[in-house]
Every structure is written in C-alpha cells, then in structure tokens.
Structure 1
Amino acid sequence: MSALKIEADPAEVGLDAERLGRIDRHFARYVDEGKLAGWSVAVARRGRVAHLAHHGLRDIEAALPVEDDTIWRIYSMTKPVTSVAALMLWEEGALELTDPVAKYIPAFADTRVYRSGSAVNPGTVAAVEPMRVWHLLTHTSGLTYGFHHAHSVDEMYRGKGHEFGPPRGQDLATACDTWAGLPLLFQPGTEWNYGVSTDVLGRVVEVASGMSLAEFFAARILGPLGMTDTGFHVTDTDRLATLYGPGLRRNRALGDAITEEPTYLSGGGGLASTLHDYHRFAQMLARGGELDGVRLLGPRTLAYATRNHLPAGADLETFGRPLFSESVFAGVGFGLGFSVAVDPVPGRQLHGQGEYGWGGLASTTFHVDPVEELTVVFMTQLVPSSTYPIRSQLRVLVSSAVTA
C-alpha cells in the first residue's frame, strides 16, 4: 500500500494556498451536514502534489476515519482505464478503431436497431453499418444501460437481468452476447448515449490481447504504474470505504459486490482504487502517456484520444440523449474514453480549455487540465453521483486557486 504526500508548496506551482483551503472547508460542511460520510482529494500542478486532504469517516457505523490508504469503489472511473487498454492495443496493431466489433464478438454481426413498439414486441431495422471499436470508445454504439428507465430498449436490458450489472454468475462474454441479441437504441454513430459500450470494449480487449481484462490491467497498466491497490476484487476490507446512498443509508446491495471474487469483469465500472493509485493514473495521462519511465501510450495517441470526437464538434447537449451520465452535457464533447471540455460558457462550468476526465457512480471524479497542467482526483462513496453538484463545485474551487 502507498500513500500520497505533498510535493510542492502551492505558491511554487502557481496556486493559492488559502484558496485551495476552500476545498477542505466546503466539503467538510458536506460531512458536517450529513451529506457525505468522508472524502479525499488531491490536486497536483506541473506534476507535483500541492494540495492533499482527507476528511470524515470511511465507515460511519464503525467510526473509522478516512485515511491515506482508504480503498474506494470508482465505478465508471474504470472506463478511462479500459479505454487506455484499447488504445494501447491500437498502438500495437492488435486492433483498429474502425474494426467491426463482430470481429472480436461474433454475436454483434447481425445487430438490429429499435424503430418502434414496446419492450415485449419491438419493431426493428437492420443496422446501416456495423458497430465499430470507435463507437464503443465514444459511446455512439447504440448500447444503453438498464438503469436509465427511459426507453423500451432499457426495459429489455432489465428484462434480461441487466440493470446495474449482469445477473449473478454471468461472465463478460455471456453478457456481451446477451446485449448483441437486443436492439440498439439508434444506428451506430448517429447519437451519443451512456451505456455498456465500455464493458463491451473490455471484452474486445480480452479477445484482442488473449488475456482476461484483470490480467491485462495487472500486467500492462496497474503493475507498471505501481497501482498496487487497484483491482476488481477487494480482500483488505478493513480499508474499504462503506458505500452510502442519500441520507447516508448504507447500500449493501451494491457495496458488497466488490468484496466477492468477480465472475464478471466490468470494464465500465468494476474497479476499486485508492487516491494514490488513481492520482498516478491521472499523472500518466497528464504527462502524455508516461510516468516514472513507464510509457503506456505515445503522446500523439493521447492527444488524439482527448480531442472531441463527436461529429462536427458537437457537444453532448446537441448530440447526446438527455439522460444521466457522469458529466454535464452543455459545452462538453467526448473523446476516446473521456469527456472533453469544448466551451465552458453553455454549461456555466469553469472548465479549462480541453480539460478531460470522468467520474463514477459513487460521486468520485477526476480531471486533467492540459493547459494549466492540473490534475484533480476526488474520492467519496455516495450513490448516485447526481445527488449533489460535487463535480462542478470542485472544478470552481480548484480553478479559482490558479493564480499564475
């Protein structure tokens, strides 16, 4: 287990220490008011940690404090890790972004697209073009989530036992075959919708690499970066933060899953991690794909992945379906596995130009601002992440501390 430490006085890297202190005071009130049990945050600039804080409890019932080595369920912050894995394989020639998904998962060869009707008797049409790896990375595949409760296709997912995850005992390959047998929400490439795209991408990584997703992560990403406390299964449960819902009610139904050996390896939401570990992942991204002599991606690949890939430079507000996701929609586009800030004005957000990142279901979040050379990682355990405006508030608190 490893812990972060302060590496620079804020003034040395153009940050205002008093203003950074606002982060702690603001989110301490969240704990005092019974909104969050506890949290951790790390802010780094120019590759050096300038602000680090922990507050509150990782387990209210046991009165255990948040500590340096607390383990957090990061849910959809798994998605950038899976996306990096796919991009690594692309660099190596093991896959092409334009490859049909059916090349790796044959069940996707004959996908149908929803046209009309109920979940019981839907009308469908043939896909105009195949679903491709690029569609998975950009969430333009037509896949969805059962928990959206917004469309007949969502209902079909739930009918197959897929809401926040697959039926108990089902593995990733079987889940992908199930989704392939259901209609797509729309023709691939024509809209953006938050769904199981990155889970399917995880299966593509498995087939293309000849390794399980857990094996690939451990050997190619987590091990090389020293992310020794990150994985699909937590055995050191004493360090694991408790998962809470609104009103700080313990959520055992979701929370206990990470303590069991997984049958299903979710590239879209299966990892747990620590502040230290995810900070190292963010630093690798901020440094153009390399950290401490370990290079996962070339800088040109990462620059390409963190551009807005939505057609004609559209944002999620105009190209996406108005559903829950881990990002605001207005002024935010999407790259190859990351949200990408296009214009801070429409969403009334203090985004840096080209800032990219993502968040998780339990209100965790991270972002990288390549212009200001900033990385921010925030960990807590509250579902759903839409409960409070934590991310927009954190962004303002950090951005307003940049003075030079």
Structure 2
Amino acid sequence: MRPMLRLAVTAGLMAGLAVPVTAAELPRATRAEEVGFSGERLSRLGEWLEGEVRRGFIPGAVIVIGRKGRIAQEVTAGFRDREAQAPMRPDSIFRIASMTKPIVSLAVMMLAEEGRLSIAYPIGTYLPEWRETPRVAEVRDGQMNLVPARRAITIQDLLRHTSGLADSSPGDHPVLAAYRASGARDRSISMEEMSRRIAALPLMHQPGTTWEYSWSTDILGRLVEVVSGQDLDTFVRSRITGPLGMVDTGFVAPEASAERLAQPQADPATGQRPSMPNPLQRPGWYSGAGGMVSTAQDYARFSQFLLNKGELDGTRLVSRTTIELMMADHLPPGTRTREVVEGRFGPLAPTPEMGQGFGLGFAVRNTVGHNPLPGSPGDAYWGGAHGTYFWVDPKEEMFVVLMMQSPTARLPFRFQLRALAYQALN
C-alpha cells in the first residue's frame, strides 16, 4: 500500500506546522486576500504540486509566496527522501546551486560600498593570477587559435557573465574541453589554485561581448576572500546570512541537520539518484557559483531583503541604490549569446528576444510582452541546477521561492510556477 502523500498548505489559515522552527520567519497574512491574492485561486498551486508528486515527476518540494511584506502561502508536499519514505518538511535543507550567485554577488557589492574594491576595475587589480592579458580562443574548422583579449576582464563582467569565461558544460568546443580537463573544479584544491587554473585557460569570447554562463562567480568568491581577508563561508555568515536571520543557509550543513537534507529521487530507468554534492562534507574551497544550501524560509528572507532594497527587520546591509544597481540590466546593446545557451534556459534566457537581460548576480526582465511567461518589468530571478528557483517582483511587491531537488523538472516547474502565482493575484 502506498503511503499517503503529505501536503501542508499555509495561507494564514493554519496555526502552524508540527515541526521545530529553526529560522526567523517573515510575518504571515491571516488570509491571502489581505495581501492581494485570491485564496481560492492560490490553492491551485498546492493541488498542482501534489499531482506532480503523485505521478512521480518530483519527490517533493517547498514553495513560499510572499507579498507586501507577508507570507501569503507556504506549500510543503511529498517526500524529503522518497526512497526512505521520509516526508518533506517546511524546514528541509536544499542544495541551491546557482542561487548561491546572488548572495556572493551581494558580498562583492558590500565590499564595493566600503570602498575596498570597484566593480569598474579589472579583476587583476585585486587577484595577481589575473594580471596577465587573457588569451581568447578563435575557432575555425575545429582548430583553435589564441589571440590577446582586446580589454581586461572587469568585476562587472564577472557579475553579469560577460567575462568571456566558460564552464565545463558538455560540448565539443575546444574551450569547454580545456575547462573539463583543467581540474579547476576539484574541490580538494585551494581557492587560490582554483582561480589560478581558470586564469590559465583561454577565454571563450572577448570580454564584454557575449553573455556566457560560466564560472565567473567562483572567481568573485576568490575576490571576496582576498579583499576581505576572510574565507568566503565566514564572510557570508558574518556579514549576510547571520544578520538576515538565514540560520540554515551556508556552504556546509552541520551534521545535526542531516535528517532535514532533501534528496533527489532515483531514476526509474537506472535506479540511481542524480549526482549531487554532499553538503555535510566541508570542501577544500567554497564555490561562489553554486556551493550553498538553504531552506525555503531562509531564501524567502533574502528575497524580502531584495524587495526592501537592502534592509530586513531593521537591519540594513547595503543602500537602496546598490540594490537598484544590482537589479538593473547590465548587458550592453548588441550583447550576444550562443544558441545552445538560449536553448538551455528557454524563456528564462537573458536575451532581448525574451525581453530580458542580466543584472549583477541574477537575470532581470525589461519589457512587457516578448516573454511567454508572466512577470513584470523590473523583476529579478535565478535558479539552481538541482531544481531550486526564485524571483522577486518589485512592481507587485511579491516574491516566490521554490525548493526541490529535481534537476530534470527544473524548467517546466519554473514555467508553471510563474503562471500559477500570477493567476492568483486579485
């Protein structure tokens, strides 16, 4: 007999969930209508999520939706670990992968506010391994020729992914092959060695010309360590997640939280789980591009902090102008993207065709129309490869956080979640 699926929906109508609360929570609306949602229409989200768990598309998920400074709905459904038949918990801990990038980008901007760096300067101003002129790969007929970069890589380039760097994605491009062979992602080496290995690789594009999803934010993590004099984990805990009350967010999950760690489900065809890092093990270096874990409630606090333009519960980390700068489109006119990159993100690609661009740490929407997914000009979003996703919509004073560990479901879930969230607005 199949165990009963667990679905808990909080829209201010439930007094609470019988689990220990470990994080500071945002205020909750008594009724969804108080913050401009239809409670009846918002309930469609929970029904949809339960159906996706039943058909085996995902093991489980936690979704938090907030508006006007209060939580309108929290949905907890399915399994934290389907194979162990462990039910999902509201405080389950998830590997957030690239949702690390906005947090580390904020760390860079905090140092910029303090006058300790300028994002207009070349990265080589602060990191000696980047002081030599980079080489750029020009590929013709499968042959790679290296030419000098026309200009240096700036910190702004790293923040907006126009550095010319690549990553180790599959593909037959010689630069991608060089990245895969470099060993730069070996988590047993030091942060300095990681940065040195990447600096020695050829660039895929001339700096400033092309949006290419890359290891840029890992280099920003190295920058934070050098400029601040603290390791990345310590800086983020002491300067960002600690002050914001994000108690379960970090680069390492403590052993005591093992029973809250969400796991992907096994592939029915192979019986194997997707490969994911073990956040209970401390790595040799902390990945600014994708090394953190968090909970839905913690990331809801970060999202509200962005909506509040740099402040939460009386704690201000950065100025209003810094958040506005981060959430502006920084891609110059004529910025290119590769077709394979556009295909990887679909309607969420930061391209003019989709009415979107990229700010400092996340993508941003620029226009009404163009994009098939609902949203508002000025909204900012990003997701993680393991299935997590968030966006903040300043126009609607709204945020949505999705936490799950389902890599293959990530794009369809992001598309459907946007539709279900916006259709519930009154």
**Same fold flag (TM > 0.5):** yes
SS in 2 for 1:281: helix
**Of 165, 184, 205, the match for 1:186:** 205
For 1:277 and 1:79, locate their aligned partners in 2 and report how far apart those are by CA, in whole Å.
15
Distance 1:222 1:319 in 2: 36
TM-score (norm 1): 0.92
CA distance in 1, matches of 2:223, 2:178: 23
Query: Aligned letter for 1:35?
Result: F
2:235 is the counterpart of 1:225: no
1:358 partner amino acid: W
Counterparts in 2 of 1:117 and 1:127: CA distance versus 1, 3 Å: same
Matched with 1:359 is 383
Structure 1 segment 1-400 matched on structure 2, within 5 A: 1-2=22-23, 4=25, 6-110=28-132, 111-116=134-139, 122-149=144-171, 151-162=173-184, 166-234=185-253, 235=255, 236-244=257-265, 247=268, 250-251=272-273, 253-255=275-277, 257-312=278-333, 321-322=341-342, 324-325=344-345, 327-329=348-350, 330-384=354-408, 386=410, 388-400=411-423
Is the Cα contact below 8 Å between 1:332 and 1:339 reproduced in 2?
Answer: yes
Quick one: which amino acid aligns to residue 322 of structure 1?
Answer: E
- Once residues 331 and 317 of structure 1 are traced to their aligned partners in structure 2, the CA distance between those partners, rounded to angstroms, is 14
Deviates more, 1:359-368 or 1:149-158: 149-158
Instruction: Write the deviation string for residues 336-362 of structure 1: whole angstroms up to 9, x where unpaired.
Output: 111001225223111211110210011
2:83/2:265 contact within 8 Å kept: no
Does the 8 Å CA contact 1:245/1:382 hold for their aligned counterparts? no
Can you list the C-alpha shifts for 1:79-101, whole angstroms capped at 9, x where unaligned? 00001101111111111011111
Query: Contact (CA 8 Å) 2:209, 2:336: kept in 1 or not?
Result: no
Q: 1:99 to 1:336 in 2, by over 3 A?
A: same
Contact 2:266 2:274 in 1 (8 A): no
Structure 1 residue runs of 5 or longer lacking an equivalent are: none
Quick check: 152-161 or 344-353, which moved more? 344-353
Q: Percent identity between the aligned chains?
A: 38
- Residue 253 to residue 348, structure 1, CA distance change in 2 (3 Å): closer
Deviation of 1:231 after TM superposition, in Å, equals 1.1
Tell me how large the CA RMSD over aligned residues is.
Answer: 2.2
Q: 1:325 to 1:65 in 2, by over 3 A?
A: same
Q: How far 1:159 moved relative to its partner?
A: 1.1
- CA deviation string 1:298-345 (max 9, x = no partner): 111111110111113x68769995353593342221011110012252
CA distance in 1 between partners of 2:24 and 2:361 (Å):
27
Shift of 1:242: 0.6
1:201, 1:245 → 2: CA distance? Answer: 34
Q: Which has the larger radius of gyration?
A: 2
Per the alignment, in what secondary structure is the counterpart of residue 55 of structure 1? strand
SS at match of 1:378: strand
Q: Is the partner of 1:147 in helix, strand or coil? A: coil
**Cα–Cα, structure 1 residues 285 and 51, in superposed 2: closer, same or farther, change >3 Å?**
same
The answer (yes or no) to whether the contact 1:191–1:321 under 8 Å persists in 2 is no
Letter aligned with residue 395 of structure 1: R
User: Is 1:10–1:50's contact at 8 Å kept on the other side of the alignment?
Assistant: yes
- 2: CA distance between counterparts of 1:219 and 1:70? 23
SS at match of 1:259: coil
SS in structure 1 of the partner of residue 107 of structure 2: helix
Measured against aligned partners, the alpha-carbon deviations of 1:184-203 in whole angstroms (never above 9, x if no partner) come to 01111001000101111111
Distance of aligned partners of 1:321 and 1:254 in 2 relative to their CA distance in 1, 3 Å threshold: closer
Alpha-carbon distance change, 253 to 397 in structure 1, aligned in 2, over 3 angstroms: closer
Secondary structure of the structure 2 residue equivalent to 1:114: strand
Q: How far does residue 233 in structure 1 lie from its aligned partner after superposition?
A: 1.3
Helix, strand or coil at the partner of 2:105: helix
